Amino acid sequence: MSESVVILMIGVSTFLGALGLIALLWGVKTGQFDDQSKFIDATHFDNEEDLRDAAMMEEKRKARLKKKEEEKEKKKNYMPAD
Protein backbone atom coordinates (compact mmCIF):
# COMPACT_ATOMS: atom_id res chain seq x y z
CA MET A 1 0.00 0.00 0.00
CA SER A 2 1.22 3.45 -0.69
CA GLU A 3 1.93 5.92 2.05
CA SER A 4 -0.86 8.26 1.02
CA VAL A 5 -3.49 5.52 1.30
CA VAL A 6 -2.34 4.63 4.81
CA ILE A 7 -2.42 8.28 5.85
CA LEU A 8 -5.91 8.64 4.36
CA MET A 9 -7.13 5.52 6.21
CA ILE A 10 -5.70 6.76 9.51
CA GLY A 11 -7.30 10.17 8.99
CA VAL A 12 -10.71 8.74 8.13
CA SER A 13 -10.67 6.29 11.04
CA THR A 14 -9.64 9.04 13.46
CA PHE A 15 -12.44 11.26 12.18
CA LEU A 16 -15.02 8.49 12.53
CA GLY A 17 -13.78 7.65 16.04
CA ALA A 18 -14.03 11.30 17.07
CA LEU A 19 -17.51 11.51 15.57
CA GLY A 20 -18.58 8.46 17.56
CA LEU A 21 -17.12 9.90 20.75
CA ILE A 22 -18.93 13.18 20.19
CA ALA A 23 -22.20 11.32 19.61
CA LEU A 24 -21.71 9.31 22.81
CA LEU A 25 -20.96 12.42 24.88
CA TRP A 26 -23.99 14.20 23.39
CA GLY A 27 -26.20 11.23 24.26
CA VAL A 28 -24.97 11.13 27.84
CA LYS A 29 -25.33 14.90 28.25
CA THR A 30 -28.89 15.02 26.90
CA GLY A 31 -30.03 12.02 28.95
CA GLN A 32 -30.58 9.61 26.08
CA PHE A 33 -29.45 6.68 28.26
CA ASP A 34 -31.53 7.59 31.32
CA ASP A 35 -34.55 5.40 32.00
CA GLN A 36 -36.54 7.13 34.70
CA SER A 37 -39.39 4.63 34.77
CA LYS A 38 -37.31 1.45 34.83
CA PHE A 39 -37.16 1.11 38.60
CA ILE A 40 -40.69 2.38 39.11
CA ASP A 41 -42.08 -0.22 36.69
CA ALA A 42 -39.97 -2.94 38.25
CA THR A 43 -41.36 -2.29 41.71
CA HIS A 44 -44.87 -1.64 40.41
CA PHE A 45 -45.18 -5.00 38.65
CA ASP A 46 -43.17 -6.99 41.19
CA ASN A 47 -45.32 -9.14 43.44
CA GLU A 48 -44.81 -10.72 46.83
CA GLU A 49 -44.50 -14.24 45.42
CA ASP A 50 -41.52 -13.25 43.28
CA LEU A 51 -39.91 -11.65 46.31
CA ARG A 52 -40.37 -14.83 48.37
CA ASP A 53 -38.93 -16.93 45.54
CA ALA A 54 -35.88 -14.68 45.35
CA ALA A 55 -35.37 -14.86 49.12
CA MET A 56 -35.70 -18.65 49.05
CA MET A 57 -33.18 -18.93 46.23
CA GLU A 58 -30.76 -16.70 48.16
CA GLU A 59 -31.12 -18.91 51.26
CA LYS A 60 -30.46 -22.03 49.18
CA ARG A 61 -27.39 -20.42 47.65
CA LYS A 62 -26.04 -19.50 51.09
CA ALA A 63 -26.70 -23.03 52.38
CA ARG A 64 -24.89 -24.51 49.36
CA LEU A 65 -21.91 -22.24 49.93
CA LYS A 66 -21.83 -23.09 53.64
CA LYS A 67 -21.99 -26.82 52.90
CA LYS A 68 -19.23 -26.51 50.31
CA GLU A 69 -17.08 -24.58 52.81
CA GLU A 70 -17.64 -27.27 55.46
CA GLU A 71 -16.64 -30.01 53.01
CA LYS A 72 -13.55 -28.04 52.11
CA GLU A 73 -12.68 -27.69 55.80
CA LYS A 74 -13.14 -31.44 56.33
CA LYS A 75 -10.81 -32.23 53.45
CA LYS A 76 -8.25 -29.78 54.77
CA ASN A 77 -8.26 -31.36 58.24
CA TYR A 78 -8.32 -34.94 56.95
CA MET A 79 -5.56 -37.20 58.26
CA PRO A 80 -5.34 -40.81 57.07
CA ALA A 81 -5.25 -43.57 59.65
CA ASP A 82 -1.83 -44.95 60.59
| Model confidence pLDDT, tens digit, residues 5-18 | 999 999 999 999 99
Integer Rg of the chain from CA: 28
Q: How far is CA 81 from CA 6, 37, 69, 78, in A?
A: 73, 64, 23, 10
Element (H, E) at 66: helix 48-76
pTM above threshold 0.75: no
pLDDT at 41: 60
pLDDT at 43: 64
pLDDT at 42: 65
Where the chain has pLDDT below 50, the residues are none
Residue positions counted in the chain = 82
pLDDT at 17: 98
